[in-house]
Amino acid sequence: MDSHAKISIMSMSDDSAKRLSEHSGQEKSGEHSRLSGPKFFRRRIALPQRFRRRTRPGEVPGRVEADPEAEPPTIHVMGYSSAEVVEGVVEDISQLDEYLAKFPITWINIDGLADAKLIQALGTKFGLHPLTLEDVVNVHQRAKVEDYDDYLFLVARMIALQEDEVQTEQISMFLGDNYLLTFQERKGDCLDPVRTRIRKKRGKIRTRGADYLAYAVLDAVVDGYFPVVESLSRELEQLDAELDDKNLTTNTTARIHRLRRDLLLVQRSIWPHREAVNEFSHLTGDWITDETRIFLRDCYDHVIQLVEIVETYREMCADVRDVYVSEISLRMNAVMKFLTLIATIFIPLNFLAALYGMNFNTRYEWNMPELGWPYGYPLLVLLMVGIGVGMLFYFWRKGWLRE
Amino acid sequence: MDSHAKISIMSMSDDSAKRLSEHSGQEKSGEHSRLSGPKFFRRRIALPQRFRRRTRPGEVPGRVEADPEAEPPTIHVMGYSSAEVVEGVVEDISQLDEYLAKFPITWINIDGLADAKLIQALGTKFGLHPLTLEDVVNVHQRAKVEDYDDYLFLVARMIALQEDEVQTEQISMFLGDNYLLTFQERKGDCLDPVRTRIRKKRGKIRTRGADYLAYAVLDAVVDGYFPVVESLSRELEQLDAELDDKNLTTNTTARIHRLRRDLLLVQRSIWPHREAVNEFSHLTGDWITDETRIFLRDCYDHVIQLVEIVETYREMCADVRDVYVSEISLRMNAVMKFLTLIATIFIPLNFLAALYGMNFNTRYEWNMPELGWPYGYPLLVLLMVGIGVGMLFYFWRKGWLRE
Amino acid sequence: MDSHAKISIMSMSDDSAKRLSEHSGQEKSGEHSRLSGPKFFRRRIALPQRFRRRTRPGEVPGRVEADPEAEPPTIHVMGYSSAEVVEGVVEDISQLDEYLAKFPITWINIDGLADAKLIQALGTKFGLHPLTLEDVVNVHQRAKVEDYDDYLFLVARMIALQEDEVQTEQISMFLGDNYLLTFQERKGDCLDPVRTRIRKKRGKIRTRGADYLAYAVLDAVVDGYFPVVESLSRELEQLDAELDDKNLTTNTTARIHRLRRDLLLVQRSIWPHREAVNEFSHLTGDWITDETRIFLRDCYDHVIQLVEIVETYREMCADVRDVYVSEISLRMNAVMKFLTLIATIFIPLNFLAALYGMNFNTRYEWNMPELGWPYGYPLLVLLMVGIGVGMLFYFWRKGWLRE
Amino acid sequence: MDSHAKISIMSMSDDSAKRLSEHSGQEKSGEHSRLSGPKFFRRRIALPQRFRRRTRPGEVPGRVEADPEAEPPTIHVMGYSSAEVVEGVVEDISQLDEYLAKFPITWINIDGLADAKLIQALGTKFGLHPLTLEDVVNVHQRAKVEDYDDYLFLVARMIALQEDEVQTEQISMFLGDNYLLTFQERKGDCLDPVRTRIRKKRGKIRTRGADYLAYAVLDAVVDGYFPVVESLSRELEQLDAELDDKNLTTNTTARIHRLRRDLLLVQRSIWPHREAVNEFSHLTGDWITDETRIFLRDCYDHVIQLVEIVETYREMCADVRDVYVSEISLRMNAVMKFLTLIATIFIPLNFLAALYGMNFNTRYEWNMPELGWPYGYPLLVLLMVGIGVGMLFYFWRKGWLRE
Amino acid sequence: MDSHAKISIMSMSDDSAKRLSEHSGQEKSGEHSRLSGPKFFRRRIALPQRFRRRTRPGEVPGRVEADPEAEPPTIHVMGYSSAEVVEGVVEDISQLDEYLAKFPITWINIDGLADAKLIQALGTKFGLHPLTLEDVVNVHQRAKVEDYDDYLFLVARMIALQEDEVQTEQISMFLGDNYLLTFQERKGDCLDPVRTRIRKKRGKIRTRGADYLAYAVLDAVVDGYFPVVESLSRELEQLDAELDDKNLTTNTTARIHRLRRDLLLVQRSIWPHREAVNEFSHLTGDWITDETRIFLRDCYDHVIQLVEIVETYREMCADVRDVYVSEISLRMNAVMKFLTLIATIFIPLNFLAALYGMNFNTRYEWNMPELGWPYGYPLLVLLMVGIGVGMLFYFWRKGWLRE
């Protein structure tokens, strides 16, 4: 059926086709950034500042106000049955009717949330509650599942390393009887393998319902955390190795700090999925088939694993920081001890030398008669050596010479 | 219906009209202080000392004793149906009867809790339990919902930045069949958008019951946390950026300390709303329509988001503090190392110089014969250079020269 | 009915009357100590060492062994109906029968637990379980409610500031159909307002059952925490203000330490009341009327508020301590930097001065020819100034001059 | 019936009689060590290393392998009815039959677990499950209750101060219809008061069932924690007092460390009793009479009290440590400030003195003409005094002179 | 029946026989490494990096992709009834049919997960769900139990000390009616005693069902944690002893760090077994007999014990680290005090000596007349001694001389 898909793409405008290819090409660059581990910590990771609500407090609930910085939307549609698959980029939402009528399952994906009108038009078309539309544009939602009568509303949070930074992106899903409507903040996602499975008819995705498609998307989102966590684990391991080599540089603190913050971000992102996936898999009613439930249980397992791994890493990271701090104390101690050694040995000697540099009138016999002794100097040097050795012995006994 | 509202305002005393306009003007200044981020941390944030109960331990429960420092009350009334809205500032509570008789929903808002008699008179009029009235004046209540037979009693806590300080204010609500009675500590609140929605008939607020009005007020209170949290997040980001630029000033500790305290205050304020909003949305009986329940679920979501964001920020803040403390240690280390370097190099050299400044009688051949050597001075200088270089080599080998 | 009460007091022995007046006078001194905030932290607060069980491990359970340091008991009785109130100090427990027979409600209060026989006699008279009597004298019980068939056994913990120290005192209550039996460790309590309400017929206490009396006592105990917490909050605020003024004195640590310990004590005392009050208000059976239940819910609210406030203060206190510790580090840093500045500038200069103070024989042309240069001294001074300025520049560039 | 008991002891072998008397004598020495508080922290407290399982991983479950270091067993039997009591040390377990046949309740106590065969023989005799026998010899069990059809299996952990160390000892109990079988690791326990109660017919123990005996043993074990906790509390109080007197010695850290470890050990030992006692008191079936349930509730209360007290002490101990650490910082600060004061005042003065000790040829007018001024020396001394005073003023202004 | 087993081994290929003997030989070397305690902390313990999923995000779920670094598989089979046991290493899975047909219970153990095809073939043969097969090769699963209709899927995590490192290894079990299928990552495990019990007919394992075999394997895995924890406890005790001897070496921090990490690893590994074993023992349906349930309860007890012991050790380890850090502070304090003592005594003396080394022209009477005093030098020395003694007195009063 792949040829069919190509034909339908041909009938799209050039612009749309370009967008579609960008869509597919994203995957590679994501792959690239994932591999650029060593540069990973060069840049500052921004705070999750996007939680900013655009809806003013006290305003009518359910208002859809687009973020002025949001990307313009691209509507990508895939209609498929077990027999065929057609995909394309549509400009007008009326074009969707054809897909919905023809195919048992239609996946409509919108990248970019800048067009409030479009979102509201989709809401009207599919009968979506205004509050859910508000959640779509306010991209600081926690992962969750909400059961409306005609559709399920799911929110998940994708994670990716882009330009060596941990970036999260909200994906909002509306699961209806014969459609899945997904909204993403930006172009580029971790869902291309799912699209490929549909196109190439890999696995059973083409023969199952929209609930399985929703599962497939959710599973891809959750599994997308693994490479990010793996990248963070490499950084942790490297920090650990540097501690062992006593090779501490000034930016070690900063790196530990960033790693901790990244792990916190990942933890906070993945955590609510736990509840959401669990709730999804235990929904009553006809939303999910028993077969899909087994897959969702597997997905839930992955979430739990991620939560535990990230927690373990956070504890390890705290340990690394503690070791680092105590290593600094130890070094300081060593430096101080050396200073003490040198200073306390030489201070009395210096005093003696200064003493015999005084210019008292030696004609009086009580004034520094030592200066006139024939062996005054050698005796003094002997005294000095004695004091130095005595000091060293004292230090040794105190255990200050052992490192 | 706006003209009607104006007419009824015209019939008020001048004083009342002024109060009403103050009421509306407040919104702007709130907006202003929200934007004055940079000055935000100049002032000390007071402890939530207002928890002070005025009721003496062991006294008759349900006594309403006004705080001597409380503001004098202003009673603002809005009666509305889907057809019309009338609002005004009343001086005497008997004037309320007209509103209650005429409109399906009447919103009575009292700003200022100084008049215990007024509050008790309202309690008698609406049949309110003395204990709830006591809670109204003891403004240290947690957010909560209590179901009495004739009315619901809700407490929420508004938050605002006033003069660059985080201020909380208790709002107590009595929800009856055809009225909503709200008590606030001070003039000025975050509810003007709700009033505007009623006045301008925006959204569906005019067509729904008192339960929706209570929701709208609660939702405005909860959403009022977002700009405050956003302001705190900006401060956190700025602190983080300063750490990266190694631009630590002496008041960084104080700023971190205040940010932590603010976040704690916000956390402690928002936290009980979680339970309260949840309980409100799950109340059995006829208090809430199913439509409003959906909106309350959305409001609950916002509370959860706030709780998680604030928690994340508190952890990040703790991290920032840890980095700051370890940065200070590192600096101290650097300073110490420099001192050690200089001191340990020069201490032995200084000793040698002092040694040869002694005034032993050089006529005796054992007394400092070096002074009489033709090349004594250059040899000594060579020795000193050798000691200095040796010391530097030792430091370099110890890794103390690397920063 | 106040006159009646007076008459019955008149019929008491002089000694008893004196005790009774001490009883009432206590209230004032409690008030006094509550106001003496500034002196509050002069004394050491004792550990809650009283948990010491007098019953030896393995002994017969339910043995009542009086603490040798306990106070001698005073039995104070109040019998009241809605019509009259009679009170007095009785010497013999057989005198109680008259009260119990005559009044619907009799409140018997015993201050001081030194007399094991008296307690056992009361136990026999009212049919109390030996284990509860054992709990009365072992005054380290947690707040709790136990339902025996004939009576309820309640334990609460009063708190007070006495001589500027946080003191807790166990109050054990036996609630029967027509009596309330309370045991306290010492004379003086926070229940005088309750007694006054009974005497003056304030509120509805005279018209309600023994359950309401038990509630009133419990409520007075719980509300008695508020002034103590308020006093601790003032200390916290003062510590905070001192940190802002950088006005740290050596006993700041000790004060923070004591504040933390006090807050811990208060927290540990109030915490079990949460469960106890909740359990009390949800008891099935006829113990509590529905009216009293509403009051108990209010009391429960107060406990929750106290728990949260104390928790918040403990976190704030921890923050204050952290700031204090980091402030000390900062100061130390400043001191160190100053020392480094002075020392590292002068150490090389000193060396040069010492160098040219050496007494090499300058007749040889290689021995310190600089001493013989006509402009040697000005050149050296110039060199020294150059070294000093260079050092300062280095420090400035390192950022060590900025405070 | 005491005479009867003596007679049966007479008929035992000398060896057995000696063991029995050791048994009773133990009580006194325990008392002694409890009082030797001051020496308490001299010795190292061993880790709870005894958790070592003797059963190899993968072996047949239920194997009873005796610890090679275990003590040889002594079997002590008490048979009693309300009328009489007979006790003795038996050599052979067949001797038990007589007791079991004659008395309604027989308490068989085995001290020492070295004899695996004996334990297995007892297991066979009483029909005990092999897994429970394995738990008897692997003495690292948590307190627990297991309900087998014919008997109850209870594990508790006794605590004692022996030779100034906190020692825990597992006691395993099998409660059958007419017997209580207890296994202890070592001779000497806290159960002698229970034995005395049986012998002297104190309390109601002789008239009640085996369940009450089990309760009595459990209660004695739990109450045995109180004197240990009291001893630890004295140490805590002493540490606290030393902090107040600023009387810190080098072993303070070690003492705090040990106290913390002891408290941890006690906490970990007592904690599982919470669940076990609760479960025991809520067992369905005929195991426990309602009367005993009330006593078990009291025992549960004691466990909760212990848990809370130990938790409070652990927090206090952490506070004490924090104060100690910050006290050390403060001291260091004071020492550093003093050094800075002295050093920074004298370093410039020293430089000046060294400067005028240089030997430049003063015949040239540019070379140190100050040396030739008639008032050069007094002027220099004035300058030095000025510099010193200026420095002191600078320090004073910086607040470094205030302690 | 042992002879029968030997015969069937004889009929295997040489290669298979070698593998089988390796299998049995493993036990000894495991024993060896367990005893090599002292070297235990030489090597770095790798992070649990193996969590890396081989399945790409978004791919078809249930894909079995072998880890390129995985070991090649060995299939070891044991078929047994109460009468006989036959074991062998099979090359082809069709050979399994014979065992399955002949014996009531067949245990198939696969060591090494490199062969994805083999695993999928086994999956097809036994009708295993693809998701469970995916879990078999992605060896970062938590311990869990999943109930499929035809079989139970269990995951556990073995732990071992190999070459002085803590190593975990996933064991996946499929429990069917008449078979147990186990997959392990590597050769060598802790299950040889179980095999021996089957071979030698020790205990009742030969007479019970497959559920008992699954229990036996699980129990061996859990009990395998004890020697590892014991080894860690020895290290903890040693660290503790070194702290007492004040014998701190530079690698103490590193050792504490590693011990903490190991304990964390063990804790994270054992923790999920808690839930898994509990769930296993409470499974409804015919999976487990009541007899096995009792054994599983015992196994659950062991898990709880391990969890608590490891938790206790982690807290103790944290305490040890705190003591270590404060010990370092104390030492630094001692060093600093010594420096201060020496420096502050000699700095003023040095100044005086330098002062009288100045070369002012003493012909003028105001220029250093002291130099010309007949007793100038002795007076100065007296002054110096006075200053030194005064300083020492000051230090003593300050308490800086006390260590």
Reported as a single tens digit per residue, the pLDDT across A114-138 is: 999 999 999 999 999 999 999 999 8
- Average pLDDT value for residue range A337-365: 85
**Residue E53's CB: how many other CB atoms inside 10 A?**
20
Helix (H, G, I), strand (E, B) or coil at C380: helix
- How many interchain CB pairs under 8 A, A with B? 193
Q: Give chains near E: 3+ CB pairs under 8 A.
A: A, D
Contacts of A400 in chain E (CB under 8 A): 335
HSE, side-chain direction, 13 A CA sphere, residue D304: 15
For residue B238, name the pLDDT band (cuts at 50, 70, 90): confident
Rounded CA separation C321/C312 (Å): 14
Buried/exposed B108-144: b ≥16 CB within 10 Å, e otherwise = bbbbbbebbebbbebbeebebbbbbbbbbbbbbbbbb
Helix (H, G, I), strand (E, B) or coil at E115: coil
Strand segments, DSSP code E, in D135-226 are 144-147, 152-162, 165-175, 179-184
Closest C-alpha among C27, C109, C116, C37 to residue C74: C109
For residue E243, name the pLDDT band (cuts at 50, 70, 90): confident
- How many interchain CB pairs under 8 A, C with D? 193
Contacts of B328 in chain C (CB under 8 A): 326, 329-330, 333
For residue A56, name the pLDDT band (cuts at 50, 70, 90): confident
* Closest approach of C337 to chain B, Cα-based (Å): 7
For residue A33, name the pLDDT band (cuts at 50, 70, 90): very low
Chain A's closest residue to E145, CA to CA, is A301
Tokens of B369: 């014969």
Strand segments, DSSP code E, in B185-271 are none
Q: Is the pLDDT of residue C216 over 70?
A: yes
CA distances from A400 to A67, A395, B398 (A): 64, 5, 17
Closest C-alpha among E269, C398, D214, A69 to residue B330: C398
- Average pLDDT value for residue range C361-376: 84
Least confident of B23-27, B381-385, C379-383, D125-129: B23-27
**Residue E156's CB: how many other CB atoms inside 10 A?**
28
For residue C6, name the pLDDT band (cuts at 50, 70, 90): very low
**Residue D320's CB: how many other CB atoms inside 10 A?**
23
E280 residue type, one letter: F
Question: Most E CBs within 10 Å: which of D271, D339, D361, as the mutation test of the E interface?
Answer: D339
Average pLDDT of every residue of chain C:
81
* Closest approach of B61 to chain A, Cα-based (Å): 35
pLDDT at position C273: 94
Tokens of D341: 């004061």
Rounded CA separation C252/D36 (Å): 35
- Average pLDDT value for residue range B30-42: 35
Are C145 and C276 in contact, with CB atoms under 8 Å apart? Answer: yes
Rounded CA separation A144/A134 (Å): 14
HSE, side-chain direction, 13 A CA sphere, residue D264: 22
Query: pLDDT digit string (tens) for B189-232?
Result: 889 899 999 999 888 899 999 999 999 999 999 999 998 998 89
Contacts of C61 in chain D (CB under 8 A): 203, 216, 219, 295, 298
Considering only CB atoms, C194 lies closest to which of B58, B336, B349, namely: B58
Rounded CA separation D80/D88 (Å): 12
Chain A's closest residue to E56, CA to CA, is A223
* Cross-chain Cβ contact A60/B202 below 8 Å: yes
Closest C-alpha among C315, C259, C311 to residue B261: C315
Which residue intervals of D139-224 are DSSP H helices? 192-200, 210-223
Q: Is the pLDDT of residue B7 over 80?
A: no
**Element spanning E121, H or E:** helix E116-126
Helix (H, G, I), strand (E, B) or coil at A87: strand
* Cross-chain Cβ contact B223/A359 below 8 Å: no
Higher-confidence residue of C35 and A171: namely A171
Chain A's closest residue to B332, CA to CA, is A332
Contacts of C341 in chain B (CB under 8 A): none
Considering only CB atoms, B354 lies closest to which of A329, A353, A375, namely: A353
Which residue intervals of A104-251 are DSSP H helices? 116-126, 130-137, 192-200, 210-223, 225-244
For residue E255, name the pLDDT band (cuts at 50, 70, 90): confident
Tell me which DSSP letter residue B83 carries: S
Helix (H, G, I), strand (E, B) or coil at C57: coil
Q: What structural domains does chain C harbor?
A: 2-327 (3.30.460.20), 331-398 (1.20.58.340)
Tokens of A50: 């996007």
Q: Is the pLDDT of residue C329 over 80?
A: no
**Residue A338's CB: how many other CB atoms inside 10 A?**
17
pLDDT at position E234: 86
φ, ψ for residue E379, nearest 5 deg: -60, -45
* Closest approach of A381 to chain E, Cα-based (Å): 18
- Average pLDDT value for residue range A89-101: 91
Considering only CB atoms, E223 lies closest to which of D53, D260, D264, namely: D53
Are C339 and C274 in contact, with CB atoms under 8 Å apart? Answer: no
pLDDT at position A163: 72
pLDDT at position D280: 92
Query: pLDDT digit string (tens) for B276-326?
Result: 999 999 888 788 888 899 899 999 999 999 998 999 899 888 888 888 887
* Closest approach of A58 to chain E, Cα-based (Å): 41
Least confident of C7-16, C158-167, E188-197: C7-16
Buried/exposed E309-341: b ≥16 CB within 10 Å, e otherwise = bbebbbbbbbbbbbbbbbbbbbbbbebbbbbbb
Question: Most C CBs within 10 Å: which of B49, B346, B355, B371, as the mutation test of the C interface?
Answer: B346
Strand order in the sheet with B179-184: B85-90, B74-80, B105-111, B179-184, B165-175, B152-162, B144-147
* Cross-chain Cβ contact A312/E58 below 8 Å: no
* Cross-chain Cβ contact D360/C353 below 8 Å: no
Average pLDDT of every residue of chain E:
81
pLDDT at position A35: 33
Q: Token pair 């190899």 is at which residue?
A: D56
**Element spanning E253, H or E:** helix E252-281
Sorted by sequence, the CB contacts under 8 Å of residue A150 that are 6+ apart come out as A127, A176
pLDDT at position E28: 38
Strand order in the sheet with C165-175: C85-90, C74-80, C105-111, C179-184, C165-175, C152-162, C144-147
CA C189 and chain centroid, separation: 15
Buried/exposed B155-175: b ≥16 CB within 10 Å, e otherwise = bbbbbbbeebbbbbbbbbbbb
Rounded CA separation B84/B79 (Å): 8
Sorted by sequence, the CB contacts under 8 Å of residue C305 that are 6+ apart come out as B51, B140, B141, B142
Contacts of C268 in chain D (CB under 8 A): 308, 312
Contacts of E309 in chain D (CB under 8 A): 48, 51, 140
φ, ψ for residue C350, nearest 5 deg: -60, -45
Helix (H, G, I), strand (E, B) or coil at D118: helix
Rounded CA separation C297/C285 (Å): 17
pLDDT at position B51: 53
Are B370 and C367 in contact, with CB atoms under 8 Å apart? Answer: no
**Phi and psi based region of residue E325 (left: phi greater than 0; alpha: psi -120 to 50; beta: remaining):** alpha
φ, ψ for residue B274, nearest 5 deg: -50, -55
Considering only CB atoms, A400 lies closest to which of E46, E335, E376, namely: E335
Are D93 and D121 in contact, with CB atoms under 8 Å apart? Answer: yes
Chain C's closest residue to B139, CA to CA, is C305
Contacts of E51 in chain A (CB under 8 A): 226, 229-230, 233, 305, 309
Which residue intervals of C245-289 are DSSP H helices? 252-281
Closest C-alpha among A296, A291, A302 to residue A279: A296
Residue stretches of chain D with pLDDT short of 70: 1-55, 245-250, 402-403
Least confident of A165-179, A232-246, D31-45, D55-69: D31-45
Rounded CA separation C106/C121 (Å): 18
Rounded CA separation D289/D207 (Å): 13
Query: pLDDT digit string (tens) for C47-102?
Result: 444 455 666 777 888 888 888 888 899 999 999 999 999 999 998 889 899 999 99
Contacts of A349 in chain B (CB under 8 A): 351
* Cross-chain Cβ contact C312/B264 below 8 Å: yes
Rounded CA separation D168/B48 (Å): 47
Are B188 and B26 in contact, with CB atoms under 8 Å apart? Answer: yes
pLDDT at position E23: 46
- Average pLDDT value for residue range A302-313: 91
Are A55 and A131 in contact, with CB atoms under 8 Å apart? Answer: no
Considering only CB atoms, A323 lies closest to which of E134, E257, E336, namely: E257
pLDDT at position E49: 44
pLDDT at position D253: 79
Give me the percent of chain E exceeding a pLDDT of 70. Answer: 84
Rounded CA separation B294/B273 (Å): 17
Rounded CA separation C188/A51 (Å): 55
Contacts of E349 in chain A (CB under 8 A): 351
Contacts of A347 in chain B (CB under 8 A): 347
Rounded CA separation E249/D241 (Å): 33
* Cross-chain Cβ contact D347/C349 below 8 Å: no
Contacts of C368 in chain D (CB under 8 A): 359
Average pLDDT of every residue of chain B:
81
pLDDT at position B126: 94
Rounded CA separation D195/D205 (Å): 10
